[in-house]
Amino acid sequence: MIRLREPPPILEDLETLQRDTVGYFLRAANPGNGLIADSSRQGSPCSIAATGLGLAAYVVGAERGFLPRREAAARTLTALRFFRDSPQSEDPDATGHRGFYYHFLDMQTGRRMWQSELSTIDTAILIAGVLTSGMYFSAAADDEPEIRELAGFLYERIDWPWAAAGGLLVRMGWKPEAGFQSYGWEGYSEALLLYILGLGSPTHPLPAESYAAWTATYQWENLYDIEFLFASPLFMHQLSHVWIDFRGIQDAFMREKRSDYFENSRQATAVQQQYAMRNPLRFKGYGEYCWGVTAGLGPGFSQQRLEGGIERQFYGYVARGVPFGPDDGTLAPWAALASLPFAPEPVLAALRHFREAYPASLSKEGLLTSFNPSFDPGDGTDPGWVSPEHLGVDQGPVVLMIENHHTGLLWHLMRECPAIVTGLRRAGFRHGWLGSSSR
């Protein structure tokens, strides 16, 4: 039984935001198979990462009373049964292969879309959501035992060592037409979650050397007098933390640096704020309370000459980052919010600012929305560009990080999850809530 501390009174508007964002996932799901759309765009395919985040959002929704627990369980079970029953093979239109899944699936048939890759990171995010469901739905009645059984089955089916293609670093993807992508995960990123899940598998675990090989690609930087493990887009410092409570636990790298990954994300958030205050590319709006540069949608690929004759490149979907870009003036309030547990005061101050200075950053459905005040759409609209759509991978952390900040629900659930605990220990994490065993 998970014991949670008594939830403190939370800001009413944060609860509203959380409720509205859970609502997004309820609308984005296909009730027939449980798949969740990549984006709110009409005809969007399913993203398996959005589905994983959605499954965790159901857990929060049930816990918060945004939807009945029985409904959350039923929705979850539909999705888990789909993944159990959908085709796993080398066929180019399968749903997955070796326990992994294609990045994008047809919302109706669940088959591979857009010739997308069998994605290791997106599978990790999906399976983290699946395992969350397995931990939360712990009752003996209704759908809940089957959820637990399927969560174990889906996790244990993943052949993690296969995805390292004979090496140590896990590859980013595989395609039936072209085999493995030639590059593996290198440099600190959200792949922390992937490696821990891969190490924790009771059936097909990654070797411990994989983790050492990955952390050998880390870069510890002193930037703006802030010391941190470098990753450029903000989301890379957030996604693993949606599931895992990194407060006070350390692997060999963090022991060497006398830090931990949670503290590191706090520093990364400070770097984002510092970057916006310095605003080297002189974009509109950037400042102490206006920051949040990460991967996401943007105004589209074009060049404009801004004030002072400066030519700036704008992008569509791209992994924006600081301090060396790409940065086109697009801000992601949802990414700022996802740093709430790490740096509550700056995040809440930024949210207030977004709401006051850029009301369009909160959509009429109550969702945080990317915007770009520097982009000139030519029709005098202010701010210049507001994202017309929402992505599941953007909205998931909004629900989950508000919850982690207030109750630590996800963290507490996953502290009890054998996959996570084993994975962390095999990665060399010790101390804090994990204890000092290095088994």
Partner 1 sequence: MNKTDSTDSRAALLPNDAYDSELLANTRPTDWTNPQPAPSYNLVVIGAGTAGLVAAAGAAALGAKVALVERNLLGGDCLNFGCVPSKALLRAARFHTDLRHAPRFAGSAPVPSEPDFAAAMERMRRLRAHISRNDSAQRFRAMGVDVFLGEAAFADRRTVEVGGASLRFQKAVIATGTHATRPAIEGLEAAGYLTNETVFNLTTRPRRLLVIGGGPLGCELSQAFARLGCEVIIANRERYFLPGEERDAAEILADALRRDGIEVRLNTEVVCVSHRDGEKHVRLVNDSQEATVVVDEILVGAGRVPNVEGLNLEAAGVEYDHEDGVRVNDYMQTRNRHIYAAGDVALERKYTHTADATARIVIQNALFWGRKKLSSLTIPWCTYTDPEIAHVGRYVKESRQRGFPLKTFTVPMSDVDRAVLDGEEEGFVKIHVRDGTDKILGATIVARHAGEMINEISLAMVAGIGLKTVSQVIHSYPTQAEAIRKAGDAYNRTRLSPLLKALSRRWLAWSR
For residue 40, the one-letter residue type is S
CB of 15 to partner 1, least distance (A): 38
The DSSP element (H or E) to which 304 belongs, if any, is strand 302-305
Q: Nearer Cβ to partner 1, position 323 or 377?
A: 323
* CB-CB contact of 404 with 410 (8 Å): yes
Residue 116 or 240: which CB sits closer to partner 1? Answer: 116
* Binding test (CB under 8 A) with partner 1, winner from 207, 325, 377, 432: 325
- Considering only residues 170 to 209 of the shown chain, the ones binding partner 1 according to CB under 8 A are 175, 177-178, 181-183, 186-187
Which one of the spans 190-198, 202-210, 216-224, 241-249 is the region binding partner 1 (CB under 8 A)? 216-224
Residue 426 tokens read as: 């095999």
Q: Cβ closer to partner 1: 207 or 323? A: 323
Axis-axis angle for helices 120-136, 191-200 (nearest 10): 60
User: Which amino acid belongs to residue 5?
Assistant: R
Out of 3, 42, 166, 222, the residue judged to bind partner 1 by CB under 8 A: 222
Site for partner 1 in 239-268 (CB under 8 A): 256-257
Q: How far apart are CA 92 and CA 151, in angstroms?
A: 25
Site residue total, partner 1 (CB under 8 A): 39
Residues 6+ apart with CB under 8 A from 168: 207, 209, 210, 212, 213, 214
CA nearest to 83, candidates 114, 41, 40, 54: 54
The site string for partner 1 over 107-146 (x = CB under 8 A, - otherwise) reads --------x-x-----------------------------
3-class secondary structure, 362:
strand
| 10 or 212: CB nearest partner 1 | 212
Q: Going along 127-188, which residue ranges are E strands? A: 173-175, 179-180
Q: How far is the CB of 119 from partner 1 (least distance, A)?
A: 12
The span of 78-86, 224-232, 364-372, 390-398 binding partner 1 (CB under 8 A) equals 224-232
Cis ω for the linkage preceding 205 (within 30 of 0): no
| Residue whose entry in the numeric block shows the structure tokens 């922390």 | 192
310 belongs to the binding site for partner 1 (CB under 8 A): yes
Structure tokens at 40: 């709110």
- Whole-number minimum distance, CB 156 to partner 1, in Å? 29
**Shortest Cβ distance from residue 225 to partner 1 (Å)?**
6
C-beta of 115 vs 203, nearer to partner 1: 115
Give the nearer residue to partner 1 in terms of CB position, either 287 or 323: 323
Alpha helices by DSSP H, 137-295:
144-157, 191-200, 208-215, 239-243, 252-257, 261-278
Contact between 173 and 165 (Cβ < 8 Å):
no
Of 13-21, 211-219, 363-371, 386-394, which part binds partner 1 (CB under 8 A)? 211-219
Name the residues that contact partner 1, by CB under 8 A.
115, 117, 175, 177-178, 181-183, 186-187, 215-223, 225, 227, 230, 232, 256-257, 278, 280-281, 303, 305, 308-311, 313, 323-326
